[in-house]
Each structure stands twice: as C-alpha cells, then as structure tokens.
Structure 1
Amino acid sequence: MRNYLAIDAGGTSTRAVFLTGSGQCLGYGVSGGGNPVSRGFDDAMEALLQASSGALGGTPQPFSSVTIGMAGASLELATEPFRERFAGLGLSGNVVIESDLLATFYSGTCQDNGYALIAGTGAVAARISDSRLAAVADGTGWLLGDSGAGFWLGREVLRAVAAALDGRGKPTALLEPVLAELGISGGTQERTNGRIRAQQQLIAKIYALAPIELSRFAPMVFDAGDDAVARDITDRAAAALAGTLTAVLDGAVDGPLVFGGSVLTRGGSVAGAVVSRLSGTIQQGTRQQGASRQEGAQNLVVPILVADGMAGAAVLALKRAGVKVDEAVFERISASLAALRA
C-alpha cells in the first residue's frame, strides 16, 4: 500500500502528517511558518522539511506524493523546486499545492460539496463544488478586506482604546490590557501639549508596528467580559463575517458548513453570532469536528468547528491520488491524527 505526506503550511506554523492509503496516520511533525509568500522560499522550505522529517520519524521513507495546503498566491508557485527538496526525504512522485480553504473544509467533512468560512489573522469564505473552489469571497488582505478577522479585531480594539482615552469613545475594559501589553505607564489623565500622555505613547508604539502585528490585540476582545465596547466589536465582526459567507452562498446551505480560524473557534461566541445573523438559512448553533449531522427543524446543517487544515490536507492527499475517502476513511484520519497529536 502506498504512503503519502500531507502538510498544512500556515504563515506562523506548519504541520505535517505521514499516512497510509487507508487513512491511518503514522507520524506527525510541526515547525514554524511555511508559507513562501510571507516567509520567503528558503525559510518556508526549511519549515516544510522540518515538519515533514518529524512526521517521518527523522528518517527518509518512501512516499508517493506530497500535498501542501497553502494560502493565496502560494497556489501559483511552481512545484518542481519543492519536488527536488522532498526527494531527499523519500518522495517518488509529485508535489501538489492545494488551497488552505479546501484543507480547512476537508478537516470537517469528506463530502465534495459545501462551504467554508475561515477567520484567523485574515478572513475568507468559499463555496466548494465537486472538490474544487467554485466561489471565494474576501481574503483580500488587511488593506482591502479581511473584515471581521484578527487584524480587523485588533485594529478595532486599539481604535476603541484611543477613543476612550481622549473622550471620543466610551470607557472600556480594553484600556488597561492594551496599555499593559504595550508597556505604557503614563497616566490616563496627565497631558502634554494638551494630549493625554498615554494616548501619545499609544500612537507612537502602534505606528511603529507592522500592520499585521495588530492582530495580537484581537484576543483581548474575548477576555473583556461583558464590556459593551468589546461586545460591539464582536457583533460587528460577526456581521462582517456573515456578509462574507453570504457572498458565496448559492441559495440555502445544501452541504456541510465548516468554520476554521481562532476568531470563529475561540469560545464560539463569534461563530454563534454569525449563525444567528444567517438564521433562516442555517440552523442556530455549532457542533465540533466529528459530530454527526444535526437533525430537527428543517434538517438544516450547522457549522463544524475545526482547529486547522491538517486533517483536510490528509484527505486531499488521498483524494488527489484517486483514493476514495468515505466516512470510514475520514474517521480513521481524524482519530489517528488526534492520537498522534495527543
């Protein structure tokens, strides 16, 4: 029986799994960011090889193909440079680069038609038809879109704090965590040349960051308790994400709906709000990866929450090799991968 290597290559972390054609995962490895667009080819390649070596147990072993789930412009990369490097680990066939959207989708289901919504640092939605991307919305980056995702949330947190400091906005529980994170110790009442000193420091420190670094402030909105300002930010994020998903819907949801990314999976509050805004099309509520389809009123699907695209990359590796991935194979991938991760 042939073996395969599947990789979920993200901008900050990379995961790899070595599996059989029956869906049994044999080894698992992790490393740093493996996206060539954001990391550069050499650094990304090093991360891909490191994670893959871990999955192979540190020793080259024969495998028929490498399937890599990546985002955006990485899908246009030539595969030959990858194939040359993976040959040293035991690759005998081809390298296939797949969309991280498909990898996320197939982490929640083995069906070939449905929908995916990802909200991590960025935000993107897709309709999947016959195992291919039929429609994609957003995923346009922090400057043009990614509405409701990590950068967007972090920016809104900082805007709310800046407004609270000079009286343009409401007081918020977000203020102290932001000032502490940035090491701002100046008083919130003291002024220099008429401006609140803490706000002046906030301006200087935030504009010294790369824009994408604003996403580090996103988790604060989930830790702010029943703060009205934080609640308003999450409500607007849910509205934006619901709009992104609506843009790819083809009528009512008639297949699995998979949610991925920390904004949607952390606590489920944003995921639940997205579902609420789509009531009438999607039944309210969420279920975890591996749960059965919920029956009941109108027998409508509910979102499946997945942590990442690792299981989906493994599913794609088998599907693209012509292996039929049914429910039994899908469950074998999910269960054996979970065991390796544990």
Structure 2
Amino acid sequence: MVTMNKYLAVDAGGTSTRAVLVSSSGACLGYGFSGGGNPVSRGFEASAAAVLEAAEKALSVAGGPVHSATIAQAGASLQLPSRMLLEGFRRLGVMNDTVTESDLLAVFYSGTYQNDGHALIAGTGAVAARVQAGRLAAVADGAGWLLGDSGAGFWLGREVVRAVAAALDGRGPRTTLTEPLLAELDIHRDTAVGSYGRTGVLQQLINETYELAPIELSRFAPLVFDAPGDPVAVDIANRAAAALARTLLAVMEGHPGGPLVFGGSVLVKGGTVAGAVLKKVGLRVPAACPAPVLVHDGVVGAAVLALKRHGVEVDAGVFGRIATSLAALRG
C-alpha cells in the first residue's frame, strides 16, 4: 500500500509558472501561479523566484510536510536547482529530493496517463517527442529560433513581418496583415520616398523590427489567425502546418501507437493549424495518427510525473482525479 504523501509539482514555462500540491490519491490540494520560470529565457535568479512564488501559493492552503518537489522545464534548462531553490523548498516544508523533468513529458502526461505515445508542442517554439515507457525516446526540433522551431510562434511572426515588408516595397502581394502589424508597432503610414529610396513606412518597419529581440517576433503570430481569408495569411498558416507535420513525422514514422497530445497556443488556439497537421501526418501514417488531445499547459502532467516518479500508480481514476480537482482549484 502506498503511503499517503503530498507532492509539489511545478510547470515552469517561459511566460508563466504553475504549481500544484497533489496527494498520492491524485487529489489536488492547492494551486499557485506566477511569472516565467524558464532559466534560459528569464535567468536563473528570476526563474527560481517565480518557481518559489508559485510553490508558496500552492502550499499556503494545506499544512503539513511535503514529500518532494518535481519541476518540469524546457529541455535546454534541465539542471540541478541552486542552493537558493533548495533552501526555499525546505523553508516551504519540502522534505526530500527535488526532481527536474522535461516540459515535453509534462505536456504529454497532461493529455494521458499512458506511458507510450507522441507529443507535439507549438507555442513560441516547436518540438515533437516520442515517449516510450514514460521516457523521451526521440525528440525532433526544439532547436531555438536560429536553428529550428519551424512552424511555431516565432516562425509565424517572422513570416508576417517578412510578408508585410515584401508587400510594402512590391516584392510580394498586398496583404491584410499590413495594417494590424503597423498598428502593433505604432507605425504610421508615410508613403513619401526618402533620400535612401524607401518609403517612410517601410523604413520605420525595418527600424522597429530590428530593435526587437528575435524571439519577440512571436507576438505577431496571432495576426495570421485573425486574417483567415487573406491569401498571404493562409499560405503562412499552411506552411506552418507542413513544417509541424514534418517535425511530428520525424518521431512518429516507424513507431506507431499510443495517444497523441498537442500543446502550445499555435495548435490549441491557432484555428485550423492542428487539423491541417493531423491531415498531413495522417496521409503518411494513417493507422498511427489518432485524434489528438489538446492541452493548454503542462501542470496536470507535472503532477502525474511527481506521482509516477515516486512509485504511485497513475491509472485512469487517478488521472481523472488530478484533472478534475485541479480544474476546480483553477476556477
């Protein structure tokens, strides 16, 4: 019989961190939310502070000791917690080890309790994984904005800016993406040609875009989905779906079976992209392409991982209890 312990589970993302206190039975007892907790994008000190803030909120409603903490973070961030993080957990009543897990596994287990299957995440970045026996057996992309992340938020935002720049100087077709992008950047239409042969509006676009960090281009990704009838936007969305399908096929072909979990705003909120990805993958591996489970984040999966890694069997009943009780806490 499994001792009824309490476990802290943390889903530390680039823009937000979520923490949940879960019992061995799968009952979620407390929930906390804070800012970005990814050390790669936030720096270690800021990310540690965010993790501890979310953890403290989750633990504030339930007294007593906590067995251990499990933190799900992006793959490039996997590292042992600093002394500050360990001391912070001790102060909060975490008695034993702190385990760091991949955010890919957390997203996968947010959609299923089974130990074999596939996951595709397309948020700011894009990555796919094949999970076998509860471990990452293969990973494709997730290589960052310079080397990959094809079809994800950065990629979409970059394509929007490129398309508008091409439209403004005649290299590409006109597009309804132009006005929303200019508004986002607070650029006024100045069609007068300057001394360098460019219109003022295009020169402003160049200046404003290069002042942004590359990853900030992801803020323009939603413009693609707000212009469904625009041929340029449709083309960008189709190319994104094709890129994401290639990423998923890289880990799926030759290894069929198991559930398929989709996560990240491009797939969850991106209109037809998820359907287009599924259609393209289904043409290649029709027998191995089930309907995907869409998940908004990895906090359910972090709780599943916390239990699994400490010997608790997570079956359909426990998984359902985690999801239901967490939803109640989140409101």
Instruction: Give the TM-score of the pair, scaled to structure 1.
Output: 0.92
Distance 2:141 2:257 in 1: 21
Counterpart of 1:253 in structure 2: which amino acid?
Answer: P
The answer for the alignment partner of 1:9 in structure 2 is: 12
1:336 aligned residue: 325
Give the distance between the partners of 1:238 and 1:250, measured in 2 at CA. 17
Query: What SS class does the counterpart of residue 137 from structure 2 fall into?
Result: strand
Aligned-pair identity in percent equals 63
The residue correspondences of 1:47-196 to structure 2 (distance < 5 A) are: 47-57=50-60, 61-78=64-81, 82-187=85-190, 189-193=191-195, 194-196=197-199
Distance 1:96 1:38 in 2: 21
- Structure 1 unaligned segments of length 5 or more: list them: 284-297
Decide whether aligned partners of structure 1 residues 282 and 57 sit closer, same or farther in structure 2, where only a CA change above 3 A counts: farther
- Give the Cα separation in 1 of the matches to 2:136 and 2:148: 20
Question: Where does 1:176-325 land on structure 2 (aligned, <5 Å)?
Answer: 176-187=179-190, 189-193=191-195, 194-251=197-254, 253-280=256-283, 301-325=290-314
- TM superposition score normalised by structure 2: 0.95
Q: Quote the RMSD (CA, aligned, Å).
A: 1.6
Partner SS state of residue 56, structure 2:
helix
CA distance in 1, matches of 2:235, 2:284: 24
Show the counterpart of 2:37: 34
Cα 1:267–1:212 shift into 2, 3 Å: closer
Aligned residues: 327
- Structure 2: gaps spanning 5 or more residues: none
Contact 2:52 2:85 in 1 (8 A): no
Whole-angstrom distance in 2 between the partners of 1:50 and 1:115: 32
CA positional deviation for 1:244: 0.5
Q: Do 1:116 and 1:125's aligned partners in 2 also have CA atoms closer than 8 Å? A: yes
Q: CA deviation at 1:281?
A: 5.1
CA change 1:267–1:282 in 2 (3 A) is: farther
Write the distance in 2 (CA, Å) between the matches of 1:224 and 1:280: 27
How far off is 1:282 after superposition? 5.8
